[in-house]
């Protein structure tokens, strides 16, 4: 399977508008981050998008994503959903309705905010047209690809991580329950939320992200949804050789 990090930033993006900090003025292209999302081509040939942030169109153009079979939503926050209108291009590529999956509160929020995408009328090209299926903890299939939801705490709400084969994507979490950590063994790679070094009420800090990584022992681990507090090179030097900060455009062949 192939994983492409479309975006790796927290909700502000990096650089942050108007911020003069060393990360935000850095010339390292890896310190230029769009909102968190990944694109996955599975061993069974399914093309999956996890989340549709505000830059989904630019991310898709940048990485050559031309076709999506389904979208998996982690939760309803705007930095993960605000680009939903651009799914109409993938409706066009599919020639029909785009299946989307996520938990029930995310579906309710999308329906409330983007009701026009759920009309059920024949798709004619002007608007996105999605069919939302609520998932809980049970594995489900997209085409021949088995997808395991990973329930996580995200402040006062729940976010859903996803395990697909030997890869797990765990963004926007302030805690991964033991029942979910039990679903994360024998991974080749994991991407996990790490906002900054200091604790935060709705996201893991770097030390809090390294703890479950040490427990589940994936072959490789990548920090994502990072803020401008985590400059690429300096952070990589601090966290050691087996973990690295993801960056926009990073590709994993698993």
Minimum CB–partner distance for residue 75 and Zn ion (Å): 6
Structure tokens at 21: 């900090």
Number of residues binding to Zn ion, judged by CB under 5 A: 8
Residue 25 found at the interface with Zn ion (CB under 5 A): no
Minimum CB–partner distance for residue 129 and Zn ion (Å): 25
Name the helix (H) or strand (E) containing 148: strand 145-154
According to CB under 5 A, which residues from 59 to 98 bind Zn ion? Answer: 77, 79
Residue 19 found at the interface with Zn ion (CB under 5 A): yes
- Considering only CA atoms, which of 225, 141, 221, 153 is closest in space to residue 189? 221
Q: Which is nearer to Zn ion, 26 or 60 (CB)?
A: 26
Structure tokens at 141: 């299939």
Which is it for strands 130-134 and 220-224: parallel, antiparallel or unpaired? Answer: unpaired
Name 14's Cβ contacts closer than 8 Å, sequence gap at least 6.
Answer: 23, 24, 31, 32, 33, 226, 227, 228
Question: Tokens 């994503």 correspond to what residue?
Answer: 65
Count of beta carbons in the 10 Å neighbourhood of residue 186:
9
Q: Which is nearer to Zn ion, 1 or 82 (CB)?
A: 82
Q: Which residue among 1, 4, 6, 24 contacts Zn ion (CB under 5 A)?
A: 24
Residue 193 found at the interface with Zn ion (CB under 5 A): no
Residue-wise over 199-208: b if at least 16 C-beta within 10 A, else e?
ebebbbbbeb
Only segment of 55-63, 82-90, 99-107, 167-175 that touches Zn ion (CB under 5 A): 167-175
Minimum CB–partner distance for residue 171 and Zn ion (Å): 7
Minimum CB–partner distance for residue 27 and Zn ion (Å): 14
List contacts with Zn ion (CB under 5 A). Answer: 16, 19, 21, 24, 77, 79, 172, 228
């Amino acid at each position: 399977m192939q994983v492409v990090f479309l975006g790796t930033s927290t909700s502000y993006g990096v650089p942050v508008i108007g911020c003069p900090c060393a990360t935000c003025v850095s010339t390292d292209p890896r310190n230029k981050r769009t909102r968190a999302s990944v694109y996955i081509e599975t061993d069974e040939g399914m093309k999956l998008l996890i989340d549709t942030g505000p830059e989904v169109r630019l991310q898709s153009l940048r990485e050559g994503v031309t076709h999506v079979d389904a979208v998996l939503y982690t939760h309803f926050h705007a930095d993960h959903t605000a680009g939903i209108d651009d799914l109409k291009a993938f409706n066009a590529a599919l020639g029909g309705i785009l299946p989307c999956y996520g938990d029930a509160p995310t579906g309710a929020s999308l329906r409330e905010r983007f009701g026009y995408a759920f009309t059920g009328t024949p798709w004619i090209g002007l608007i996105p047209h999605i069919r939302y299926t609520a998932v809980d903890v049970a594995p489900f299939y997209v085409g021949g690809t088995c997808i395991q939801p990973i329930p996580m705490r995200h402040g006062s709400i729940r976010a859903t991580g996803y395990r697909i084969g030997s890869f797990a994507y765990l963004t926007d979490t302030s805690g991964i329950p033991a029942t979910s950590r039990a679903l994360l063994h024998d991974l080749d790679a994991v991407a996990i939320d790490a906002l900054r070094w200091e604790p935060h009420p709705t996201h893991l800090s770097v030390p809090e992200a390294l703890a479950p990584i040490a427990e589940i022992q994936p072959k490789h681990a990548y920090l994502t949804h990072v803020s401008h507090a985590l400059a690429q090179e300096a952070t990589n030097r601090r966290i050691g050789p087996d973990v690295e900060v993801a960056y926009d455009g990073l590709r994993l062949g698993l």
